[in-house]
Amino acid sequence: MRFKKKDLVRLYRNLVRARKFDQAAIRLLGEGKFTSFFHAAYGGEAPGVGGTTFLRQDDYIYAHHRGHGIPHAAGKGADLFSFMAEHCGKITGSCKGITGFHACDPEYGMLGAGGTIGSAFPVSVGWGLAAQKAGKGQVAVCFFGDSSAGRGTMHEGMNMAANWRLPVVWVCENNGMGQFVPIKDAYPLEDIASMAAAYGMPGVVVDGQDVVAVAEAVMAAVERARKGKGPSLVECKCLRFRPHVEGAPDWVHAEVRPAEEIERLKKRDPVTLYRKKLLKQGILTEKELEKIDGEIDAEVQEMERFCETGAYPDPSILQNALYAD
Amino acid sequence: MASMNMGMAVNNALALEMERDPNVFLLGEDVGLPGGVLGVTAGLQARFGEKRVLDTPISESAIIGAAVGAAACGLRPVAELMFVDFIGVCLDQLFNQAAKMRYMFGGKAKIPMVLRTCCGAGIGAAAQHSQSLEAWFMHIPGLKVVMPSTPYDAKGLLISAIRDDNPVVFLENKVLYQIEGEVPDEPYTIPIGEADIKREGGDVTMVATGQMVMRALAVAEKMAGEGVSVEVLDPRSLSPLDEEAILKSVKKTHRLVIVHEEVKFAGSGAEIAATVAEKAFDYLDAPVLRVAAPFCPVPFSSKLEAEFVPSEEKITGAVKTVMEG
- Give the C-alpha distances (Å, rounded to integers) separating B201 from A181, B56, B99, B153, B312: 65, 47, 37, 21, 18
Question: Which A residues, 296 through 315, put their C-beta within 8 Å of a C-beta on chain B?
Answer: none
Q: How high is the pLDDT of residue A44?
A: 98
DSSP class of residue A110? B
B174 with B207, same domain? Answer: no
Residue B310 lies in a domain: yes
Q: How high is the pLDDT of residue A102?
A: 85
Could you give the CA distance from residue A54 to residue A49 in angstroms, rounded to a whole number?
9
Q: Does B69 touch chain A (CB under 8 A)?
A: yes
pLDDT of A114-124, one tens digit each? 789 999 999 99
Asked whether the beta carbons of residue A112 and residue B101 sit closer than 8 angstroms, the reply is yes
A10: amino acid identity, one letter = R
For residue A36, count other CB atoms closer than 10 A to its CB. 17
pLDDT mean across residues, chain A: 96
The answer to whether residue A113 scores a pLDDT higher than 80 is: no
The last residue of a domain, from among B154, B183, B212:
B183
pLDDT of A180-211, one tens digit each? 999 999 999 999 999 999 999 999 999 999 99
B259 with B170, same domain? Answer: no
Residue B188 lies in a domain: no
Residue B129 lies in a domain: yes
B224 with B135, same domain? Answer: no
Would you say A231 and A170 are in contact if contact means Cβ atoms under 8 Å apart? yes
Examine residue B240 and say whether the peptide bond preceding it is cis (omega within 30 degrees of 0).
yes
**Sequence-separated contacts (24+) of A262-269 with Cβ below 8 Å:** A265/A43, A265/A239, A265/A241, A266/A43, A266/A241, A268/A209, A268/A239, A269/A43, A269/A209, A269/A241
B237 with B306, same domain? Answer: yes
Residue B68 lies in a domain: yes
The mean-pLDDT minimum among A20-24, A62-66, B11-15 falls in A62-66
Could you give the CA distance from residue A317 to residue A325 in angstroms, rounded to a whole number?
15
B14 with B135, same domain? Answer: yes
B143 with B168, same domain? Answer: yes
A and B: number of Cβ contacts within 8 A = 152
Asked whether the beta carbons of residue B106 and residue A96 sit closer than 8 angstroms, the reply is yes
B87 with B225, same domain? Answer: no
Asked whether the beta carbons of residue B166 and residue A96 sit closer than 8 angstroms, the reply is no
B167 with B29, same domain? Answer: yes
B133 with B179, same domain? Answer: yes
Cα dihedral B72→B78→B84→B86 (10° resolution): -60
The answer to whether residue A112 scores a pLDDT higher than 90 is: no
Q: How high is the pLDDT of residue B188?
A: 98
Question: Residue A243: left (phi > 0), alpha (psi -120 to 50), or beta?
Answer: beta
What residues in A contact B75, CB-CB < 8 Å? 129-130, 133
Q: How high is the pLDDT of residue A173?
A: 98
Structural domain boundaries, residue B318 = 196-324
B35 with B75, same domain? Answer: yes
What residues in A contact B67, CB-CB < 8 Å? 126
For residue B117, count other CB atoms closer than 10 A to its CB. 21
pLDDT of A67-96, one tens digit each? 999 999 999 999 999 999 999 999 999 999
Q: How high is the pLDDT of residue B163?
A: 98
Rounded to an integer, the average pLDDT of B208-230 is 98
Q: How high is the pLDDT of residue A64?
A: 86
- Parallel, antiparallel or unpaired: strands A255-256 and A251-252: antiparallel
The last residue of a domain, from among B133, B156, B183:
B183
Question: Which B residues, 11 through 30, put their C-beta within 8 Å of a C-beta on chain A?
Answer: 25
The last residue of a domain, from among B183, B218, B233:
B183
Instruction: Identify the CATH number of the domain in which residue B239 sits.
Output: 3.40.50.920
What residues in B contact A163, CB-CB < 8 Å? 57
Rounded to an integer, the average pLDDT of A3-9 is 97
Residue B43 lies in a domain: yes
Q: Does B66 touch chain A (CB under 8 A)?
A: yes
Q: Does A323 touch chain B (CB under 8 A)?
A: yes
For residue A283, count other CB atoms closer than 10 A to its CB. 16
The answer to whether residue A153 scores a pLDDT higher than 90 is: yes
The answer to whether residue A28 scores a pLDDT higher than 90 is: yes
Residue B191 lies in a domain: no
Could you give the CA distance from residue B82 to residue B79 in angstroms, rounded to a whole number?
10
Q: Using pLDDT thresholds of 50, 70 and 90, give the confidence band for residue B224.
A: very high
Name the minimum distance, in Å, from the CA of B143 to any CA of chain A.
8
Question: Which A residues, 75 through 94, put their C-beta within 8 Å of a C-beta on chain B?
Answer: 93-94
Would you say A70 and A83 are in contact if contact means Cβ atoms under 8 Å apart? yes
Name the minimum distance, in Å, from the CA of B286 to any CA of chain A.
35
B25 with B146, same domain? Answer: yes
Question: Which A residues, 147 through 186, put their C-beta within 8 Å of a C-beta on chain B?
Answer: 152-153, 155-157, 159-160, 163-164
Q: How high is the pLDDT of residue A248?
A: 93
Spatial CA neighbour of A8 closest among A313, A310, A254, A275: A275
Q: How high is the pLDDT of residue B178?
A: 93
Residue B190 lies in a domain: no
Would you say B238 and B145 are in contact if contact means Cβ atoms under 8 Å apart? yes
The answer to whether residue A65 scores a pLDDT higher than 90 is: no
pLDDT of B243-258, one tens digit each? 999 999 999 999 999 9
B31 with B133, same domain? Answer: yes
Q: How high is the pLDDT of residue A115?
A: 85
If one counts the domains in chain B, the total is 2
DSSP A248-275: S--EETTEEPPHHHHHHHGGG-HHHHHH
3-state SS class at B301: coil
The answer to whether residue B148 scores a pLDDT higher than 80 is: yes
Asked whether the beta carbons of residue A123 and residue B72 sit closer than 8 angstroms, the reply is yes
- The H or E element containing residue B207 is strand B204-208
Instruction: Identify the CATH number of the domain in which residue B9 sits.
Output: 3.40.50.970
What residues in B contact A324, CB-CB < 8 Å? 102, 107, 110, 112, 165-166
Q: Using pLDDT thresholds of 50, 70 and 90, give the confidence band for residue B222.
A: very high
Q: Using pLDDT thresholds of 50, 70 and 90, give the confidence band for residue B75.
A: very high
Asked whether the beta carbons of residue B103 and residue A156 sit closer than 8 angstroms, the reply is no
Asked whether the beta carbons of residue A95 and residue B104 sit closer than 8 angstroms, the reply is yes
The answer to whether residue B325 scores a pLDDT higher than 80 is: no
Name the residue among A99, A122, A157 with its Cβ closest to that of B105. A99
Q: Using pLDDT thresholds of 50, 70 and 90, give the confidence band for residue A103.
A: confident
The interface pTM score, or ipTM, of the predicted complex is 0.96
What residues in B contact A323, CB-CB < 8 Å? 102, 142, 144, 166
The answer to whether residue B161 scores a pLDDT higher than 90 is: yes
Asked whether the beta carbons of residue B67 and residue A126 sit closer than 8 angstroms, the reply is yes
Asked whether the beta carbons of residue A321 and residue B72 sit closer than 8 angstroms, the reply is no
Q: What domains can be seen in chain A, in order of their start residue? A: 5-312 (3.40.50.970)
Residue B93 lies in a domain: yes
Q: How far apart are the first and last CA of chain B?
A: 44
Would you say B321 and B290 are in contact if contact means Cβ atoms under 8 Å apart? no
Rounded to an integer, the average pLDDT of B147-175 is 98
Q: Where are the beta strands (DSSP E) in A116-184?
A: 140-145, 168-174
Catalytic residue IDs of B:
129
Asked whether the beta carbons of residue B65 and residue A123 sit closer than 8 angstroms, the reply is yes
Name the minimum distance, in Å, from the CA of A321 to any CA of chain B.
5
